[in-house]
Structures are given as C-alpha cells and as structure tokens.
C-alpha cells in the first residue's frame, strides 16, 4: 500500500470514529432528556474543516460545551496515535472543555474507548516526531 492509500485509509478510519462519537453524544443527551442539546451536537471536522483543534462540539446534560478530539485506531489500547500541534494548543487553551475520546479495537460493529479531560500535555506522553520544513533562501 502506498502512502496516499494509507493516508486515505487512516482518514476514513478517523471519520468513522468521529461519526460514532457524534451519534453516541446525541444518544447520551437524548437519554438525559436534553433533546434540544442533542440537536446542537456538531461534527466540526466535517462542517468547518479539520483546523479547529477538535472534531466534535457537544454538550453535557447541564448545557456545558464539550470540545471533543477523537483518536481512533484498529490496534489495542497501547497503539500510539498522533496529536497535531493545533490540537495540543487548543487543549491547553481550553482545558476545562477539552475531551480526548480515544477509540481502539475499532471495527464497524464496535470499539473500546476511554476519555481524557483537559490538556493533552497533562494526560499523555508526547513524543515529537514531525517537523515542518521549508527551503532556506
């Protein structure tokens, strides 16, 4: 599989995980009697693009906003995943409303998950692995 194929496959996996979280957030709010809030859950990564620093805008049953970044892998709980500098910065700027939903063992039928709240720097070991490069002039 070439790099473009791998990127497309990973993008589809990520979008599938995000869609699962959107649906779960809506169901949770409906089950809590918050139908109006369930209607406001937004798949930001699709509606506004991937640069917001999070993927899903949801709400707690009390009405508090939740900025949710979804990380999905097919591997087990210890499978590493990537965080962008934008996601890291957003989580640091909004630790009270930032949630990382980590989905693993993901299949069409099911996934395992855990949720981390707050800045990713406080919750994860971050290993910088990429650099943005430009030619020196």
Q: Is the pTM of this model over 0.85?
A: yes
Dist CA 69 CA 92 (whole Å): 13
Max CA pair span of the chain: 60
Query: How confident is residue 56, by pLDDT bands cut at 50, 70 and 90?
Result: very high
Of 25-29, 60-64, 67-71, 105-109, the range with the lowest mean pLDDT is 105-109
Contacts of 5 (CB under 8 A, 6+ apart): none
**pLDDT tens readout for residues 110-120:** 899 999 999 99
The pLDDT assigned to 108 comes to 82
The pLDDT assigned to 2 comes to 77
Query: How confident is residue 49, by pLDDT bands cut at 50, 70 and 90?
Result: confident
Q: What is the CA radius of gyration of the chain?
A: 16
CA atoms within 13 A on the CB side of 126: 14
């Amino acid at each position: 599989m070439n790099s473009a194929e791998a990127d497309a496959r990973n993008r589809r996996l990520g979008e599938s995980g995000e869609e699962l979280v959107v649906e779960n957030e809506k169901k949770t709010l409906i089950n809590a009697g918050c139908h109006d809030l369930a209607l406001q859950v937004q798949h930001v990564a699709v509606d506004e693009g991937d640069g917001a620093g999070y993927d899903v805008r949801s709400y707690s049953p009390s009405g508090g906003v939740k900025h949710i970044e979804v990380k999905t892998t097919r591997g087990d709980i210890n499978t590493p995943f990537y965080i962008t500098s934008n996601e890291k910065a957003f989580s640091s700027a909004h630790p009270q409303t930032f949630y990382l939903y980590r989905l693993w063992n993901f299949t069409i039928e099911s996934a395992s998950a855990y949720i981390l709240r707050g800045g990713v720097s406080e919750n994860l070991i971050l290993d910088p692995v990429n650099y943005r490069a430009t030619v020196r002039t």
